[in-house]
Structure 1
Amino acid sequence: MPRSERSSLLLAGLLATAGVAHFVSPRQFDAIVPRVLPGSPRTWTRASGVAELALAAGVALPRTRRVAARATAAFFVGVLPANIQMAVDWRDRPAPQKAAALGRLPLQVPLVLWARSVAKGARRPA
């Protein structure tokens, strides 16, 4: 399997795992939905889980990989406010939890770059 294919499938696996987690353990995601968003946090949790599952499917399929990987990069930028919300909310928690919340912030950069790399490496649709 070529390296670019493996990278695409790993990204799809990460997205699928995160998407499933939104439905298996939604409370942890509900808690980081920025309070400025309208509606129920659970609705946002479910919507982001569905989005991650759809992106996973798109990245996994060569025919849709390029556009899905670009959308994934945008998605990773879009969830940054939730990670910021988590860091703010967890500022008074024990050090390991605070470190985990703060560690999520710079992690968005390599995730965005990874998704862009997958998009660039994907074949153009016929």
Structure 2
Amino acid sequence: MAGSPSAPLTRRIVGLALLFVASGTTHLVRPQVFEPIVPHALPARRELVYVSGVAELVCAAGLLVPGTRSVAGWGSAALLVGVFPANVQMTVAAAKRWRRHPDDPKRAAFLAGTVARLPLQWPLVRVALSATGRDV
């Protein structure tokens, strides 16, 4: 990976970086929002939320700098795959809340949003991989 050519800075890569900045900042400022979606088998939820927030900010910065874009692309893809279980956990928890109150349109809408979000993670991984400068 060292010495890999830098991919051009596209709008999609900038968009992913901005998404990481927003999410990473929220992880650090309001970690309690993310703690419930850390898979239950993992210890130290608050610490994991902080670590993932910092990782998102580091990836964002790396994506924007030509000399680190390739490595940041690989790191961003790994991060997105690594946090996918938390997205699944969010959907499972939303489904449980909705089943307790199936007539609540807000809970139904939130559940629908979490379900719709799951397949959207993969296009984000593709954008991250596009930053590597390699055909992947």
* Aligned position for 1:91: 95
C-alpha deviation, 1:12, in angstroms:
1.4
Q: TM-score, normalised by structure 2?
A: 0.80
Q: Does 1:14 align with 2:19?
A: yes
Conserved? CA contact 1:15–1:55, under 8 Å: yes
1:25 is aligned, of 23, 27, 30, to 30
- Rg comparison, structure with higher value: 2
> In structure 2, the residue corresponding to 1:12 is in which secondary structure?
helix
Q: Does 1:78 align with 2:82?
A: yes
The equivalences for 1:100-111 within 5 A come to: 100-111=113-124
Supply the RMSD in Å over aligned alpha carbons.
1.5
What amino acid is the match of 1:98? Answer: L
**Runs of 5+ unmatched residues, structure 1:** 122-126
> In structure 2, the residue corresponding to 1:119 is in which secondary structure?
coil
Distance 1:77 1:52 in 2: 13
* Aligned position for 2:53: 49
**Runs of 5+ unmatched residues, structure 2:** 1-7, 99-106
Query: RCO (CA 8 Å, sep 6+): is it higher in 1 or 2?
Result: 2
**Between 111-120 and 46-55, the greater mean CA deviation after superposition:** 111-120
C-alpha deviation, 1:32, in angstroms:
0.3
How high is the sequence identity, in percent, across the aligned residues? Answer: 44
